[in-house]
Structure 1
């Protein structure tokens, strides 16, 4: 489509022998370029036509897809272009007076491409910054923060060694353990500032006896007891966040990721969402609206693998930003199919059984082809001997599965479906459904926060 800049340039372009210089001569002014009445009419029509096409394109899925951009980036860019064209139309009266004045004096002007101001892509050329909703897995961040400053505890084996390691942990003047909370805020506060976060929620685990224990009593039964210096900080952190006006979501019947999932499904079409965690369960929540900031020591290698220089991205250090395409690249399946992968592969950290002796090498091609474990079982059950042989050939020659998982899939079907229930993040917690987005707008009470930091002996975190 010919835009306004191209339209005007076409009418005035006369090359003077150099690549970047364009000159408007008196002859062009008199004969072709600015027949003022025609130009005004054509420019207005071009503006209006372009505005209408922009509006139509913003709701046309095929047009958005063909642009190669994420939907929200496409809308953001074209909304900006449209608003600038609209502004041009509103201010055309004064602009025309200037044009007419110049034409009347028959001025000859030289225009150089070099005169155009270069604008960095990182500059805020869009006016108001885009809203960003950050959901922090508080349990993950607090635990990571705790052990990052409790190295002696990691190597302690006996109770005596553990108790000695506890004495080295950071504490408040009143004797409260604070090392995890300190690092939690040392990570969170710069994150909010550097990423221009406008909305925030922290989700926390409260108990292991959630609804999943009703599905399988052995769920997470293999985990050791949480050290009491860390357990005490869960309670203290929750209270502190609430005091300084940061929304916290926690309930004994749900896990942190269940609240994250419910918040995502409630608001992801209203605002871009970013999930901050080191828990791979959250991958299932990634969509065109929701990105995952996965905390991982492999982030640099992952960016290198896909040919991206992380320094050119506006993402936090030490995280890899998962999009649907990057999930597909690294996991071989769609984000939502992570649930089916756990159903078959299991998860030792959560004591999810899965299908015995069937791992990613077999499960990922099956899931990618059939789509879900339900469809897998629809295609492998109740086969006669001939059909079963043909299926095994298909597994090997088409899906590249050398060692057939068929026997174990059939034998451990019940475990697979129970595992899928355990691996599925709940996205419809009732308490979230009536929540308004405005309640999550970032509104930290820094006065209270500074006083609490002072009381806890964390003076380096005080914002002046």
Structure 2
């Protein structure tokens, strides 16, 4: 539990895609997919709601925004055509739930934000950068890439396996557990690449070597300034993949300048109980209304 200081606003930025995918796979691994009596798949939305209210109960935000990807094509695909090309298509049962979950979120009174050409990560990065000036910001996600967004006012809440199982990263926790600063998270991925996002970094350099380089030289620039001091094998790998090193860093860097605006007054957490209950009833989620009492 994080205690709110001096009645300061606490903004919860929800990585909607992370919650939705997590909920889908957590509730479908047995082969059973929850559906309405009309046959509409709802298991991911159902699980999303449970995760959502659990986070509210745990962190008591005053404001909430939910951020979403808006299609598969972004500026990163334009920079590197193979970006995320290894991803399989979303399961058929999940497809109708992408729009449905946003409907449910809106009915609960929560602002949905996404921007074509950018990822949800970039929207979260931009909003956290803007809103931290006067508020505490918590980013709810399962994505460790978000650790680069940590500041004195921004913490990243990583969802671990199971419900109510979180790890909260601030500047001190990040350094204590990973020996990294937020900016070094980006440089680490630039060296080692990202198999999930399908960019290689420097071929032949894995996490162990990348961490050693960053620990010793602090940054990519520090390493490049000391190329002659590196072991010959490491130096040759970097020199042979210099362009991809810089491209990988650009792909890894979450943007803080997405052209989106959000005033605090527009994202106050005030559950629209009647509208949410009506939507839950429509989706045959009647049993979830009990979660309203924790909000």
TM-score using structure 2 length: 0.92
3-state secondary structure, aligned to 2:94? helix
What are the equivalent positions in structure 2 for 1:78-97 lying under 5 Å apart?
A: none
Question: Superposed, which structure 2 residues align to 1:294-305 within 5 Å?
Answer: 294-297=158-161
The answer on whether the counterparts of 2:107 and 2:279 sit within 8 Å (CA) in structure 1 is no
For the pair 1:149 / 2:27, whether they are aligned, the reply is: yes
Is residue 9–residue 135 contact of structure 2 (8 Å, CA) maintained in 1?
Answer: yes
The 8 Å contact of residues 137 and 276 in structure 1, kept in 2 or not, is answered as: yes
**Aligned partners of 1:219 and 1:351 also within 8 Å:** yes
**1:427 maps to which residue?**
256
Map 1:161-310 onto structure 2 (within 5 A): 165=31, 168-297=32-161
More helix per residue: 1
Q: Which of 264, 276, 280 is the equivalent residue of 1:437?
A: 264
Larger Rg over CA atoms: 1
Q: CA deviation at 1:413?
A: 0.6
Asked if structure 1 preserves the Cα contact closer than 8 Å seen for 2:54 and 2:164, the reply is no
**Greater length-normalized contact order (CA 8 Å, ≥ 6 residues apart):** 2
Q: Offset of 1:251 from its aligned partner?
A: 2.6
Q: CA deviation at 1:375?
A: 3.1
Matched, 1:138 2:16: yes
Equivalent position to 2:236, from 384, 393, 407: 407
- Shift in Å at residue 330 of structure 1? 2.2
- Residue equivalent to 1:44: none
Q: CA deviation at 1:362?
A: 1.7
Q: Report if the CA contact (8 A) 2:36-2:283 is conserved.
A: yes
**Is 1:336 equivalent to 2:183 in the alignment?**
yes
CA–CA distance in 1 between the matches of 2:21 and 2:73? 19
Q: Contact conserved, 1:137 with 1:204, CA < 8 A, in 2?
A: yes
Worse overlay, 235-244 or 420-429: 235-244
After TM superposition, give the deviation of residue 188 of structure 1 in Å. 1.0
Counterpart of 1:450 in structure 2 is 277
In the aligned structure 2, how far is the partner of 1:190 from the partner of 1:321? 15
Distance in structure 2 (CA, Å) of the matches to 1:132 and 1:237:
23
Aligned mates of 1:190, 1:408 — CA distance in 2:
46
Displacement of 1:426 in angstroms is 0.8
State the distance in 2 between where 1:248 and 1:240 align.
10
| SS of structure 2 residue aligned to 1:221 | coil
Q: Name the CA distance, whole Å, in 1 between partners of 2:218 and 2:129.
A: 21
Cα RMSD (Å): 2.0
- Per-residue CA deviation, residues 93-117 of structure 1 (Å, 9 max, x unaligned), is xxxxxxxxxxxxxxxxxxxxxxxxx
**What SS class does the counterpart of residue 326 from structure 1 fall into?**
helix
Give the structure 2 partner of residue 58 of structure 1.
Answer: none
Deviates more, 1:346-355 or 1:251-260: 251-260
Are the aligned partners of 1:173 and 1:455 in contact in 2 as well (CA < 8 Å)?
A: no
Deviation at 1:367, TM superposition (A): 1.8
Deviation at 1:404, TM superposition (A): 4.6
| Contact 1:243 1:448 (C-alpha < 8 Å) held by counterparts | yes
Structure 2 unaligned spans of 5+: none
Could you list the per-position Cα deviations for residues 183-238 of structure 1 after superposition, in whole angstroms to 9, with x for gaps in the alignment? 11112123213422100011111222111001001000001110121121111111
